């Protein structure tokens, strides 16, 4: 390790010393060298209670960051552009094409060195077109064709003699090659084509590298956001939530179950704190943290309890930072990317077969040409023949390059990267790319209630306290309740809590830190003029049992003078069931008799039915710290508070949109079933005919019974994480694509099991976030609906590009093969095919893969699990457009030789500003090439809509990428044709020819409209309905089930004493079937079978 720098005036310790301390994990060194925790805190100029002084917040703790470093981790340097550029050349077809181009250049240079002017015959070997000239009918008599061929042959021989004589005597001007043979023309350097091919390959590699470079930068920035977690710290005596990147040495970090340790540190105090250090040490068991084992490692998870630690090392000096240096940022392919890669490989194989057939046809024609020349005793120019063979190879390899749709994986990558970035703006942080595409196929959303459907803005509005019921809190509480009773009530709120109300370091506005339910109680204590911070600071805390999803309550034992008090709060029916006494307003303690319990249950029922969350507070006194084996028994009931959590105003509309999209929304909550039903009904989840039941009721059903009740199950209340996991597994077993929300540590299994796990960014624990695929940054259900839209958009964008590209593949391969087979050679040469390939892959992928989502995406049913990439409707459009394009191509090639639009006269050829370099055939092939490209450009507009929508221009102005790419492609094509010349073997077209090319391309638009006129209806498509089938009752009994869920026998008498039996012989649970049915207050209140927890208590499931 490098020598430590000289100590600064502000801090006497160096970061290297602190690293050595953490690395040694020696309590003796901590005590002997640093004076224990107190001495270490003094050297770090911080307080074990209050943290760093508040005066440091003005400059953002700049001195600490300068001296000890920042809490950022080193990243592997991104792959350089040049490396990505050279990696693009590793593709086999590109290598072969490059080698062939180099050979072509070599042959051309050899000709130049030998002083030979290239006058090679056109390598097309046009068995048909050699017998026709520009403007002449194709269909001549056999005698005329033979006679004309003999005349031309004689003229060629005579002109060659004259030309050789002129050259030998150095007199006159050599006769232009294009006058000796209509199919000969002077190419100033046959190596030009090879150079252009190499240049085109370089452009393709440049674009590919640019896309990869941009993609990597985008994913790095998204990872920075993904790894930025919120941490609770103590600074200047107040608790704050700060970014993990803002953690500094000397901070006091407050940790709870589910949190990730943000930096290395030393345990100060806590209750039952246990850490999973398997990621760092490989130790599978949770490690308890205590005075004898206080060292905490960054990157590890808190699995139990709560506590505080002092930060000693941050960033690259921490253990996690050391490991981060060695980590790779490689990204696994998503299933959609893998499917497309497989599809691209299969299409490539088909392209290879066509290329092989084309090459075979060209070699056969070449052999026929050689045989004919030999039969006529013509001199064979082998340099030209070699050039021809190289040209064949270039054409064949280029066909393979065009056929291999590298753009398919590129399209999904661009679409995913674009969508992920946009989803972040919609408060969806995508942690796993697979979630983007999977979310589009979601058929079920199992949503939490608190914070997701509601605002998580808790306020105590009603309550029962010490024998008095209050419809408005706090109103006259102080006048009605004895001060001693009120002290117990407020002490229970202050001490039995981990939440706090702080102030933002910058804005100084109030900031709720921790459970919003607990914050509501803290606000109540402040309204009653109590200082909860002072009470909490003065309390002698002995033991704290944090909330868990199984216990549904939280308890704390404190010493008050010579007595010991246990404070408990939790689910109303659960805590009330543990009480056998109550206290009245005068402070008198009496028995909690049946009539009082019934009265309290009625209050709970009424508050829950009006949508309030109910919370019971109780306490128990003892003469010693030992409360026995069951400390939470025989408690004294203090009060029951009704807490309002308003419904998010945008949720009902979002739920309705999900219904239109064919998605079933289910509420899965830990709240009382009456509260859950009220909120679910308000937001449109719980409807007439729907089923609401509790977790314990659902849990005991057999799989067959679950399968029968699931189609109508809309609310699952008082559920545990286990119930949520069972629900998700069963839905997936039935073939549903399930998205589930969760925020607690114990929600991790369900989040992992779901097709898309969605954790809460505000209320979620780090364990839940790590297990999830998407983090909902604002905990808002409407953000989930936006995620569905983006997921469907990704799938549609890939399909758009697929439809567009397959059309090009079919047409390009068919034209190349048929033309070669009929002796027309290849109308599209290597450079032109590479340009088309560039349009297909990089540019079209950028244009079509960035289409933003539209509202109509939620007007059809989800795709589901087994939806093919290419739908029957897509095949219809692909084949229809391919037929149109092939008819146009073959018409120009074989049927338009005597139409002036498609040919160039000899006069125009000789007076062209580009010189007499092109033949009639060059002009014709330029028309073929230009028409082909414009057919694709207009079909690119058709491809924007893949579900038979008539308005293909809808929203086109909202996609600047599309418009920019479209305009750039059109402009580059015009430059390519008009100024390409020898390099790309194009002839500049007249204005009327340009109009004809564009006009033929435009035909694709009305042709696509005609195809859309034929009706097509996907199963369940258009205005998807979510009306569910009537289900068979889950009970094996002869009677009917009333809307209230009670079993009614066939004789009409209620058979409440003989509950129906399930398939396994156990007593069937009560099920609320109709949304307008109600339960009697006695059910679910005070009964062990339905007493589960409240939301948002520390360390547990908020729903």
CA–chain centroid gap for 386, Å, is 52
Torsion of CA 832, 833, 834, 838, to 10 degrees: 100
Calculate ∠ Cα 981-984-990, nearest 5°: 45
> What 3-state class would DSSP assign to 106?
helix
d(CA 669, CA 781): 14
Give the SS3 label for residue 470. Answer: strand
Whether 252 contacts 232, CB under 8 Å: no
Q: Are 751 and 765 in contact, with CB atoms under 8 Å apart?
A: no
Torsion of CA 463, 465, 467, 472, to 10 degrees: -40
**SS3 sequence, 19-56?**
HHHHHHCCHHHHHHHHCHHHHHHHHCCCCCCCCCCHHH
Altogether, the residues listed in the chain come to a count of 1103
Select from 403, 405, 392, 400 the least CA-distant residue to 193. Answer: 392
Mention every residue, 6+ apart, whose C-beta is less than 8 A from residue 1057.
Answer: none
Distance, CA of 353 to CA of 807 (rounded, Å): 18
Where do we find the tokens 């704390």? 556
Residue 819 CB neighbours (<10 A)? 24
The answer to whether the beta carbons of residues 881 and 1007 sit under 8 Å apart is yes
- Say how many Å lie between the first and final Cα of the chain, rounded: 49
Whether 448 is catalytic? yes
* Catalytic residue (choose from 122, 251, 448, 841): 448
Q: Tokens at residue 92, please?
A: 């086999």
DSSP alpha helix (H) spans, 170-287: 191-226, 278-281
Alpha-carbon gap, residue 399 to 348, rounded angstroms = 10
How far is residue 141's CA from residue 150's CA, in Å, rounded to a whole number?
14
- Nearest CA to 444 out of 1026, 856, 1034 is that of 1026
Distance between CA 392 and CA 346 in Å, rounded? Answer: 24
The whole-angstrom separation of Cα 847 and Cα 838 is: 13
Contacts of 78 (CB under 8 A, 6+ apart): 213, 216, 217, 220
Among 542, 571, 544, CA closest to 559: 542
Contact 274, 293 (CB under 8 A): no
Residue with tokens 């997701």: 452
Measured CA to CA, the distance from residue 481 to residue 175 in angstroms comes to 119
**Rounded to whole angstroms, what are the CA distances from 490 to 529, 778, 908?**
10, 31, 99
Contacts of 584-592 with C-beta under 8 Å, sequence gap 24+, read 584/466, 584/467, 585/466, 585/467, 585/468, 585/480, 585/481, 585/482, 585/485, 586/482, 587/482, 587/484, 587/485, 589/636, 592/637
Distance CA 816, CA 893 (A): 12
- According to DSSP, residue 171 is labeled -
Taking the C-alpha atoms of residue 466 and residue 270, their distance in angstroms, rounded to an integer, is 32
Q: Is the peptide bond before 474 cis (omega within 30 degrees of 0)?
A: yes
Give the separation between CA 1040 and CA 478, rounded to whole angstroms: 52
Place of tokens 């026929």: 368
Catalytic residues: 448
């Amino acid at each position: 390790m490098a020598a430590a720098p000289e100590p600064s005036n502000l801090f006497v310790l160096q970061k290297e010393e602190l690293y050595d301390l953490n690395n040694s994990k020696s309590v003796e060194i901590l005590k002997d060298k640093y004076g224990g925790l107190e001495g270490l805190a003094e050297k770090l100029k911080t307080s074990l209670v209050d943290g760093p002084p508040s005066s440091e917040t003005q400059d953002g703790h700049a001195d600490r960051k300068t001296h000890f470093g920042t809490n950022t981790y080193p990243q592997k340097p991104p792959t350089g552009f040049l490396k990505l550029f050279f990696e693009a050349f590793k593709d086999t077809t590109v290598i072969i094409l490059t080698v062939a181009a180099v050979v072509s250049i070599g042959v051309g240079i050899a000709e130049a060195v030998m002083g030979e002017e290239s006058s090679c015959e056109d390598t097309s070997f046009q068995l048909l077109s050699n017998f026709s000239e520009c403007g002449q009918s194709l269909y001549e008599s056999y005698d005329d064709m033979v006679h004309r061929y003999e005349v031309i042959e004689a003229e060629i021989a005579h002109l060659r003699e004259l030309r050789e004589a002129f050259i030998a005597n150095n007199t006159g001007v050599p006769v232009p090659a294009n006058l000796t043979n209509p199919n000969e023309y002077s190419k100033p350097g046959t190596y030009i084509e090879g150079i252009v091919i190499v240049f085109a390959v370089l452009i393709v590699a440049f674009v590919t590298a640019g896309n990869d470079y941009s993609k990597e930068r985008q994913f790095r920035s998204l990872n920075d956001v993904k790894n930025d977690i919120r941490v609770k710290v103590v600074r200047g005596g107040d608790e704050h939530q700060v970014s993990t990147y803002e953690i500094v040495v000397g901070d006091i970090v407050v940790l709870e179950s589910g949190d990730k340790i943000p930096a290395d540190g030393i345990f100060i105090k806590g209750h039952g704190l246990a850490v999973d250090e398997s990621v760092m040490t490989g130790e599978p068991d949770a490690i308890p943290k205590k005075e004898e084992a206080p060292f905490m490692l960054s990157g590890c998870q808190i699995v139990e309890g709560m506590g505080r630690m002092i930060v000693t090392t941050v960033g690259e000096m921490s253990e996690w930072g050391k490991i981060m240096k060695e980590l790779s940022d490689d990204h696994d392919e998503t299933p959609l990317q893998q499917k497309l890669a497989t599809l691209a490989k299969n299409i490539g194989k088909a392209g290879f077969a066509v290329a092989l057939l084309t090459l075979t046809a060209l070699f056969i024609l070449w052999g026929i040409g050689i045989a004919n020349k030999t039969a006529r005793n013509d001199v064979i120019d082998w340099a030209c023949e070699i050039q021809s063979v190289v040209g064949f190879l270039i054409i064949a390899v280029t066909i393979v390059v065009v056929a291999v749709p590298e753009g398919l994986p590129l399209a999904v990558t661009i679409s995913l990267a674009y969508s992920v970035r946009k989803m972040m703006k919609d408060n969806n942080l995508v942690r796993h790319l697979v979630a983007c595409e999977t979310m589009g196929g979601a058929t079920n959303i199992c949503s939490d209630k608190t914070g997701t459907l509601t605002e998580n803005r808790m306020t105590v509005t009603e309550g029962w306290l010490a024998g008095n019921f209050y419809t408005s809190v706090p109103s006259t509480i102080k006048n009605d309740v004895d001060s001693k009773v009120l002290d117990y009530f407020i002490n229970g709120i202050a001490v039995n809590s981990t939440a706090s109300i702080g102030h933002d370091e910058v804005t100084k506005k109030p900031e709720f830190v921790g459970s919003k339910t607990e914050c509501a109680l803290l606000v109540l204590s402040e309204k009653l003029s109590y200082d909860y911070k002072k009470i909490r600071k003065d309390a002698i805390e002995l033991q704290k049992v944090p909330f868990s999803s199984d216990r549904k309550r939280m308890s704390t034992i404190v010493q008050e003078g010579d007595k010991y008090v246990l404070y408990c709060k939790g689910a109303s029916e659960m805590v009330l069931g543990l009480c056998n006494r109550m206290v009245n307003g005068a402070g008198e303690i009496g028995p909690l008799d049946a009539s009082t319990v019934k009265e309290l249950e009625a209050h709970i029922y009424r508050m829950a039915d009006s949508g309030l969350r109910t919370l019971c507070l109780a306490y128990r006194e003892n003469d010693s710290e030992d409360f026995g084996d069951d400390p939470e028994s025989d408690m004294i009931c203090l009060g029951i508070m009704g807490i309002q959590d308003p419904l998010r105003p945008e949720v009902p509309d979002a739920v309705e949109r999900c219904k239109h999209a064919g998605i079933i929304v289910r509420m899965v909550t830990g709240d009382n079933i009456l509260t859950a039903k009220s909120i679910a009904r308000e937001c449109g989840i719980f409807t007439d005919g729907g089923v609401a039941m509790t977790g314990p009721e659902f849990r005991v059903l057999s799989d067959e019974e679950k399968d029968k009740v699931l189609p109508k199950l809309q609310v699952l209340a008082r559920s545990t994480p286990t119930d949520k996991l069972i629900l998700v597994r069963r839905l997936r077993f039935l073939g549903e694509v399930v998205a589930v929300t969760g925020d607690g540590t114990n929600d991790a299994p369900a989040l992992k099991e779901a097709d898309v796990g969605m954790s809460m960014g505000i209320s979620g624990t780090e364990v839940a976030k790590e297990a999830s695929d998407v983090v909902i940054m604002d905990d808002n259900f409407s953000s989930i609906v936006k995620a569905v839209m983006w997921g469907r958009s990704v799938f549609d964008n890939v399909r758009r590009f697929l439809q567009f590209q397959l059309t090009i593949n079919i047409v390009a391969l068919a034209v190349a093969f048929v033309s070669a087979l009929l002796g027309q050679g290849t109308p599209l040469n290597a450079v032109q095919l590479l340009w088309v390939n560039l349009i297909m892959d990089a540019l079209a992928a950028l244009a079509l893969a960035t289409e933003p989502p539209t509202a109509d995406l939620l007007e059809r049913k989800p795709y589901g699990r087994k939806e093919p990439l290419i739908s029957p409707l897509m095949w219809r459009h692909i084949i229809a457009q391919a037929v149109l394009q092939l008819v146009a191509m073959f018409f120009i090639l074989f049927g338009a030789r005597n139409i002036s639009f498609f040919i160039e006269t000899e006069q125009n050829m000789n007076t062209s500003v580009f010189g007499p370099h092109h033949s009639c055939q060059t002009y014709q092939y330029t028309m073929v090439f230009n028409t082909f490209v414009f057919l694709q450009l207009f079909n690119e507009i058709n491809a924007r809509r893949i579900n038979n929508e008539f308005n293909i221009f809808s929203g086109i102005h909202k996609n600047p990428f599309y418009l920019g790419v479209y305009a750039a492609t059109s402009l580059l094509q015009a430059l390519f044709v008009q100024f390409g010349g020898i390099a790309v073997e194009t002839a500049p077209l007249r204005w009327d020819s340009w109009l004809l090319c564009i006009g033929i391309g435009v035909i694709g638009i009305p042709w696509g409209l005609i195809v859309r006129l034929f009706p097509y209806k996907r199963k369940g498509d258009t205005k998807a309905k979510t009306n569910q089938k009537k289900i068979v009752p889950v009970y094996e009994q002869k009677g009917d089930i009333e809307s209230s869920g009670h079993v009614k026998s066939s004789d009409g008498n209620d058979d409440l004493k003989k509950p129906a039996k399930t398939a396994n012989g156990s007593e069937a649970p009560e099920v609320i079937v109709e949304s307008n049915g109600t339960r009697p207050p006695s059910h679910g209140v005070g009964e062990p079978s339905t007493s589960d927890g409240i939301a948002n208590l520390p360390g547990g499931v908020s729903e």
